[in-house]
Amino acid sequence: MKKVLFGMVLLFSITTFTGCTSKESKAAHSSTEATSQVAQVRSTKESSSTSTSTQSTSVSTSQTASSTASSQTEESTTVSEEISTAGRWNATKSGELQGFISTWEQAMGQSYKEYAPGNNVNFYGLRLPDGVIGGSEMPLSVDNQPVTAAWSVDGTSSAEYSVVAVYSDAENRGRMDNHVYFFAFHNQQPVVLVSMQNQGMEDHAFHLQETENQELKNGFAAIVNE
């Protein structure tokens, strides 16, 4: 009887211990799973945070680079425009044009003088260039269209034609087939205009047209573009 009773007690103890052990194992397993889930969540958050930070840094760097490139482009464009404007016409190129005309006139069998505001040629009673610059004495027409013209030392002005030089053979010829040439810029391009007008026109304007002398046009363009 004592052996039976002892056996029952021992069996109950073993069963109870086993149950407790099973519960502890399940609890430990649950705790491990919970710890793993927390670690995964933290890892995901940290990864997301790192990714967001990297993306933010990348965007910031890209924006900075874009801003720098844009600034450099604007500065380059401004410098280029300033160089283009400054190099269009100057005293050096004016001297080169004088040298070119002195050679060209010999080939043409003519003799030309240079004129400018305050130093005009009497072209059949009209003072040039002062008489037509700004329409002071007579309006100006190019290809039978009224235009505005202004004298310019650098090839730029608010007028349609920026005149930088005037040459004429009127003082040396004294005949009815005198020439006057206006070297100018129109739409930022070099152009050589010529007139042989020796009498008044119905529109009371002084008429010019682009010269057909290709050597003269090429010579002026070469000086401008060098």
- Taking a C-beta distance cutoff of 8 angstroms, is the pair 149, 138 a contact? no
What are the tens digits of pLDDT across the range 136-171? 789 999 999 999 999 999 999 999 999 999 999 998
Write the CA distances from 144 to 24, 141, 158, 209, integer angstroms: 109, 5, 21, 8
Lowest mean pLDDT segment, chosen from 45-54, 183-192, 209-218: 45-54
For residue 26, what pLDDT is reported? 40
Per DSSP (E only), the strands in 59-205 are 113-115, 121-123, 126-128, 140-142, 145-147, 149-151, 161-168, 180-186, 189-195
Nearest to 165 by CA among 216, 103, 213: 216
For residue 13, what pLDDT is reported? 38
- Taking a C-beta distance cutoff of 8 angstroms, is the pair 181, 166 a contact? yes
| Strand, coil or helix: 113 | strand
For residue 173, what pLDDT is reported? 73
Q: What are phi and psi of 87, to 5 degrees?
A: -90, 0
Cα separation, 161 vs 186, in Å, equals 5
Question: Which residue would you say has higher pLDDT here, 129 or 8?
Answer: 129
- Does residue 129 have a pLDDT over 70? yes
What are the tens digits of pLDDT across the range 40-70? 434 444 444 444 444 444 444 455 445 554 5
